[in-house]
Amino acid sequence: MSGLRLPEDPNLLVGLHTSDDAGVYRLDERTALVQTVDFFTPVVDDPETFGRIAVANSLSDVYAMGGRPLTAMNVIGFPTTRLDIGVLQAVLRGGAAKLREAGVALAGGHSVENPELFYGLSVTGLVHPDWVWRNRGARPGDALVLSKALGTGVITTALKGGLAAAGDVSAAVASMQTLNRQAAERAADLAIHAATDVTGFGLAGHACEMLADQPVGFELEAGALPLLAGAEGYAAQGLMPGGLHRNREHFGPRVELGPDVPAAVRDLLFDPQTSGGLLFALPAGQAAALAEELRADGLPAALIGRVTADHPGRILVR
């Protein structure tokens, strides 16, 4: 879209010029809209479970901006000649259940005939214009907190190959279905300097986006990264999605890996996540308490690193 001449509007607080998770449009001094759209093809076999995962993933962008999702519209592609309509009903049933859990109203939607099933949402939320979380703004001395474990990409790849253990799949599915609402609400009253959700670009990719054009760098502790059960083993077997390789090719030049970082962890840094967790940069004194509160809520949150004025724009992993 770099060649397009886009309309200018001073009320568009967050648009296409950064890689933020959603757009933000100011309505007045106290209210702004948060808008996003996301959809993808199935990552699990059960259609109702897929619907719940797709909704949790779509809502995540609003939570990552510090917003509260308000309404949603279904976005559906369905192969009517290949799949029974009951499959679509199950997907939408799962999606509706997750919307009820989130307290989000379904306002409508749009469907098209497509050779492969896809499902997601267009979501509208609300946020105070002065309290928007951006993916840039991390400060030296901040600590980094990640709210969910990594590894959904390699586990779903193993599932597609019939090589994933049932317990590992169950843990990954539970993670992907978990809303990021609790993490966002716990962080709402803290001094969040930067935030994003970790999805298709993987932890390293989204961290690189947080560092774009910023005078800071990140230092990550490989041993502190929360990993889903089985993820290291599947990565070691080479069960990696194509997106992992593309992420490493694109973002790898900005990531320096220490000699002691295990090979599987080197891969999982770039693993594309479905409905991954929130990554926060906030003062170190608040970060430990946030991670502890999230763990008390049942999330595998962890302090995974810090922000430094050294090596701006780059990530060091030790």
Banded pLDDT at 68 (limits 50, 70, 90): very high
Same domain, 125 and 147: no
Banded pLDDT at 5 (limits 50, 70, 90): confident
CATH number, position 275: 3.90.650.10
Q: Taking 80 as the threshold, does the pLDDT of residue 2 lie above it?
A: no
Q: Which helix (H) or strand (E) holds 70?
A: strand 68-78
Q: How far apart are CA 29 and CA 221, in angstroms?
A: 41
Same domain, 172 and 126: no
Domain boundary at 97, 131, 165, which? Answer: 131
Q: Quick one: pLDDT at residue 3? A: 78
Beta-carbon contacts of residue 293 (< 8 Å; ≥ 6 apart): 186
What does the DSSP assignment read for 120-183?
Answer: EEEEEEEE-GGG---S----TTEEEEE-S-B-HHHHHHHHHTT---HHHHHHHHHHHHS-SHHH
Q: How far apart are CA 289 and CA 301, in angstroms?
A: 11
Q: Quick one: pLDDT at residue 142? A: 98
Enclosing domain of residue 220: 142-317
Q: Taking 90 as the threshold, does the pLDDT of residue 17 lie above it?
A: no
Same domain, 156 and 74: no
Banded pLDDT at 310 (limits 50, 70, 90): very high
Q: How far apart are CA 302 and CA 225, in angstroms?
A: 7
Assess if residue 5 is contained within a domain: no
Same domain, 288 and 247: yes
- List 39's β-bridge partners, or say none: 120
Beta-carbon contacts of residue 194 (< 8 Å; ≥ 6 apart): 133, 134, 135, 136, 137, 138, 142, 210, 280, 281
Q: Which amino acid is at 124?
A: T
Same domain, 111 and 147: no
Q: Quick one: pLDDT at residue 4? A: 81
Q: Quick one: pLDDT at residue 8? A: 87
- The whole-number average pLDDT for the span 108-136 is 97
Same domain, 218 and 246: yes
Query: Largest Cα–Cα distance in the chain?
Result: 57
Answer yes or no: are the C-beta atoms of 244 and 202 closer than 8 Å. Answer: yes
Assess if residue 243 is contained within a domain: yes
Same domain, 117 and 204: no
Give SS3 for 235. helix
Domain boundary at 108, 131, 154, which? Answer: 131
What does the DSSP assignment read for 245-306?
Answer: HHHHHHHGGGEEE-TTS-HHHHHHTTPPPSS--EEEEEEHHHHHHHHHHHHHTT---EEEEE
CATH number, position 36: 3.30.1330.10
When divided into structural domains, the chain yields a total of 2
Q: Quick one: pLDDT at residue 19? A: 87
Tell me what percent of the residues of the chain surpass a pLDDT of 70.
100
Domain boundary at 131, 151, 166, which? Answer: 131
Task: Extract the tokens encoding 270.
Answer: 């770039």
Same domain, 17 and 38: yes
Residues in the chain: 318
Q: Quick one: pLDDT at residue 62? A: 98
- The whole-number average pLDDT for the span 255-261 is 96
pTM of the model: 0.95
Q: What is the pLDDT of residues 153-197, one digit of tens each?
A: 999 999 999 999 999 999 999 999 999 999 999 999 999 999 999
- The backbone region for 32, taken as left when phi is positive above 0, alpha when psi lies in -120 to 50, beta otherwise, is beta
* DSSP assigned state of 216: -
Cα–Cα distances (Å) from 2 to 5, 17, 100, 134, 202, in that order, read 8, 9, 38, 21, 24
Beta-carbon contacts of residue 238 (< 8 Å; ≥ 6 apart): none
Q: Quick one: pLDDT at residue 289? A: 97
Helices (H) and strands (E) in the chain, counts: 10, 13
Q: Quick one: pLDDT at residue 273? A: 98
Tell me what percent of the residues of the chain surpass a pLDDT of 90.
96
